[in-house]
Amino acid sequence: MGQAGDRVDQPEDRVGQAVGQADSAEARADQAVDRVGEIGPESFEGAVRVVGSDPFPYTIVQAEDGRSLTVTGALRDDIRRLSGARVRVTGRLRPGEQPGTGLDVSSWEVLSVDGERPLVGRLERGAAGYDLVRPGGARVPLNFVPGSLGDRAGSLLWVVLDEHGGVAAYGIIREPGGGEHGGGASG
């Protein structure tokens, strides 16, 4: 028996609460769908794939279980350049606009490239060579930059560093002058 003030719910009360919670959840889901059929925001992890052929290739993010989303929006080209990488993308679902379900991406994060966790940032000349300027402004000095990368200062890129801070692998995500760090890009 409970103490004075303890509440013991009757089975009918719990059923009523469950129905109320389900109605509330349905109302929130209805509110998430705006006038143009968007649902979101949603996050999705998987490997970047480019499918189809020119002039109409599609960029998709495919999860390990086979589900995939077609990438849409202003960051589509950034993500396309990450083909083969494992990423987390966040944005609004746009059912029916692309093959399958589209995701209008508002931010992305590189999780791995060939099994390694890369750093993402903008390549800039530093006091003693080159630095990778991370989103948020932190500078990571690069001890060795291949000549083919050195002339790409200003580019947004991913890098995998060796044990000495040298660039072991890299990929260009966006050439200089292509905007800020990918609308929330991180890595």
Helix or strand or coil: residue 111? strand
Between the alpha carbon of residue 85 and those of residues 6, 102, 106, the distances in Å are 55, 19, 18
Quick: pLDDT tens for 104-140. 999 999 999 999 999 999 999 988 889 999 999 999 9
Instruction: Give burial (CB, 10 Å; 0-12/13-18/19+) of 35.
Output: exposed
Max Cα distance, the chain (Å):
78
Question: Are residues 58 and 94 located together in one domain of the fold?
Answer: yes
Instruction: With respect to residue 25, please indicate whether it lies within any of the assigned structural domains.
Output: no
Question: Are residues 98 and 131 located together in one domain of the fold?
Answer: no
| Boundary of a domain, candidates 112, 133, 164 | 112
Q: Is the peptide bond before 41 cis (omega within 30 degrees of 0)?
A: yes
Which of 57 and 187 is assigned the larger pLDDT? 57
Q: Which domain holds residue 141?
A: 119-174
Name residue 84's amino acid: G
Is pLDDT of 143 > 70?
Answer: yes
| Boundary of a domain, candidates 74, 92, 112 | 112
| Boundary of a domain, candidates 60, 93, 112 | 112
Strands 119-126, 68-72: pairing is: unpaired
Quick: pLDDT tens for 55-103. 888 999 999 888 899 999 999 999 999 999 999 999 998 876 566 788 9
Give the pTM: 0.71
Domain count of the fold of the chain: 2
* CATH number of the domain within which 57 lies: 2.40.50.140
